[in-house]
A and B are shown apart, each in its own frame.
Chain A
Amino acid sequence: MAAIYSLYVINKSGGLIFYKDYGSKGRMDTNDSLRVASLWHSMHAISQQLSPTTGCTGIELLEADTFDLHCFQSLTGTKFFVVCEPGTQNMEDLLKAVYELYTDYVLKNPFYEMEMPIRCELFDINLTRAIQKDRVALLGR
Chain B
Amino acid sequence: MQFFGGSELSPSPPTPTGTGTENNSHMIYIFNRNGVCLLYREWIRPLHTLNFQQDHKLMFGLLFSLKSLAAKMDPTCADKGNLGVPQLPGQGCSFHSFRTNTYKLNFMETPSGIKFILVTNPGTGDLRETLKYIYNLYVEYVANNPLYTPGTPIRCELFNTAVNQHVKSISS
Contacts and interface: CB of A to CB of B under 8 A. Distances in A.
A32 B100 contact: no
B98 interface: yes
Contacts of B59: 50
Contact of A51 (B47, B83, B95): B47
Interface in A55-95: 55-67, 69, 83
A107 to B, nearest CB: 25
Interface residues of B, number: 41
By Cβ-Cβ distance, the 3 closest A-B pairs, closest first, are A24-B75, A64-B95, A5-B75
A30 interface: no
A56 B70 contact: no
Given A54-B47, A67-B93, A26 B99 contact: no
Interface in B24-77: 26-27, 42, 44-47, 49-50, 55, 58-59, 61-62, 65-66, 68-70, 72-77
26 contacts: A25-B78, A26-B77, A36-B69, A36-B72, A40-B69, A43-B62, A43-B66, A43-B69, A48-B100, A49-B58, A50-B49, A51-B47, A52-B103, A53-B102, A54-B46, A54-B47, A57-B100, A59-B98, A62-B97, A62-B99, A63-B95, A63-B99, A64-B70, A64-B94, A65-B95, A69-B73
Interface of B: 26-27, 42, 44-47, 49-50, 55, 58-59, 61-62, 65-66, 68-70, 72-78, 80, 83, 93-103, 105, 119
A70 to B, nearest CB: 10
Given A54-B46, A62-B70, A25 B75 contact: yes
Most buried by B among A48, A51, A52, A83: A52
